[in-house]
Amino acid sequence: MEKPEGCILCEKPGQSNDALNYILYRGDKNFVIMNSYPYNPGHLMVAPYRHVANLEELTDEELHEHFETIRQSIKVLKRAFNSGGFNIGMNIGKVAGAGIDEHVHTHIVPRWQGDTNFMPVVSDIRVVPEALAETYKKLEGKF
């Protein structure tokens, strides 16, 4: 799949249709968006509105709200999905595996006991048992 031009983490919050763009929450400095290629149902990303590539470029206000939004996202996901744990992380820079390396963001991936299967090992395919639109409906208005 060819990567689209521009930065989706800048473009999507600039558009008015949050449901179409899977934006679940808008803070003053950061927003929450569902990952379009999730590892598990409820895979969210927290990103600042400002286009910066590195964590150290965030202002104190942006950074504080970013981590408050991560905390709030975990609470929402626990209530909505009863997940047993979370993977939370950032891939900063292309060599670190960042798919969007020019705009810093944090991934929040809900996890459950036994949520992995043989598909990634056998054929490099991930199976997500829920459509994005269904997940959005579960989380919409919960922040």
Residue 123's pLDDT is what? 44
Tokens 């942006």 map to which residue? 62
Q: Taking the model in full, what pTM does it have?
A: 0.85
Contact 30, 49 (CB under 8 A): yes
Hey, what are 74's tokens? 């975990």
Nearest CA-CA partner of 40 in 136, 100, 129, 137: 129
- Rounded to whole angstroms, how far apart are CA atoms 141 and 40? 20
Q: How far apart are CA 3 and CA 25, in angstroms?
A: 25
- Has 105 been annotated as catalytic? yes
- The pLDDT value recorded for residue 118 is 43
Name which of 99, 105, 93, 35 is nearest 66 in CA terms: 105
- The SS3 of residue 84 is coil
CB burial string 55-82: b at 16+ within 10 A, e below:
eeebeeebbebbeebbebbbebbeeebe
Q: What is the pLDDT of residue 122?
A: 43
Q: Mind listing the pLDDT tens digit of every residue in the chain (143 residues)?
A: 455 578 999 999 999 999 999 999 999 999 999 999 888 999 999 999 999 999 999 999 999 999 999 999 999 999 999 999 999 999 998 898 888 899 999 999 999 887 764 444 444 545 556 788 999 999 999 99
- Select which of 43, 66, 103, 105 is catalytic: 105
Question: Phi and psi of 38, rounded to 5°?
Answer: -70, 150
As assigned by CATH, the class of the 8-139 domain is alpha beta
pLDDT value for 1: 43
Q: Residue 31: in which H helix or E strand, if any?
A: strand 30-34
CA distance 98 to 82: 28
